[in-house]
Structure 1
Amino acid sequence: MNVVKRSLAVLATMAATAGVLTACTDEQAYCVDLAKYAAKAVDVDPQKPVDYVKILDEAKKLQESAPKDVKDDWGVVVTFAEKAKKAGTDAAQLAELSKQTGGVMTAYKNITSQAKDSCKVDLPALN
């Protein structure tokens, strides 16, 4: 019976360790993706909605893998980028979107802060 208890204890420890390693790996993967995103986002002017289309695919990926504390913020960025994509080259729609950048910039500031604190990644500054 002792062998069974030891085996169960070892299995339980291994399962717990695997869970911790998986969480760490997920966060590391998010940080790596965030660093890749940072390199692409250098050319994005947060005041120009059309620029958000450039980062839409990366933002969607980051929204899926983001930690809980910034997942909603990524949702704000993705939603805005999708609206910009839908607007296309329509100057009137893009002008209207330009008036709505405040919420996106707030979300981006939260993402930037978390990126620096948790991932040691510097995202391009907002203008």
Structure 2
Amino acid sequence: MKRSLALLATVAAGGSVLTACTEEQAYCVDLAKYGAKAVDVDPQKPVDYVKILDDAKKLQESAPADVKDDWGVVVAFAEKAKQAGSDTVELAKLSKQTGGVMTAYKNITSQAKDSCKVDLPALN
């Protein structure tokens, strides 16, 4: 009985350590998957941001604090692009607002490389 309780306590303690570790690992795995999809995104075409909206929202939720706001910038821009749809006037307006998104994405890219060892596609 004592042996079972000791084993159970060890497993429970180990589980809490694994949970803390797997959240960061899960973010890194999701980030790598996102990177594979983001290859097709042209940063100068706001309509392309719609392609990564769902992934960006998921990453924003699980992102570390140092890039959570940057993901918020990407998500907000992608949502605006989605709302614009095929309205060329609105998309043209958004094209002029890519600077903030590019800065946020550079922060995300740097953090991805440093913390997750993930290379995201470069924005040109």
RMSD between aligned residues? 1.8
State the AA in 1 paired with 2:43.
P
The whole-number CA distance in structure 2 between the counterparts of 1:118 and 1:106 is: 18
Question: What does residue range 30-69 of structure 1 map to in structure 2 within 5 Å?
Answer: 30-69=27-66
The whole-number CA distance in structure 2 between the counterparts of 1:76 and 1:45 is: 17
Please report the TM-score for the alignment, with normalisation by the length of structure 2: 0.88
Q: Deviations over 1:16-36 (max 9, x none)?
A: 654432121000000000000
State the AA in 2 paired with 1:43.
D
The SS at the match of 2:119 is: coil
The residue number in structure 2 matching 1:71 is 68
Q: Deviations over 1:39-92 (max 9, x none)?
A: 000000111100000000100111111111111110100000000000001011
1:118 Cα deviation from its structure 2 partner: 0.6
**77, 82, 85: which one pairs with 1:80?**
77
Gaps of 5+ in 2: none
**21, 26, 35: which one pairs with 1:24?**
21
State the AA in 2 paired with 1:118.
S
Please report the TM-score for the alignment, with normalisation by the length of structure 1: 0.86
Number of aligned positions between the proteins: 120
The residue number in structure 2 matching 1:126 is 123
The residue number in structure 2 matching 1:4 is none
The whole-number CA distance in structure 2 between the counterparts of 1:111 and 1:20 is: 26
Gaps of 5+ in 1: 1-6
The whole-number CA distance in structure 2 between the counterparts of 1:23 and 1:68 is: 15
Q: Deviations over 1:1-27 (max 9, x none)?
A: xxxxxx9xxx5x876654432121000
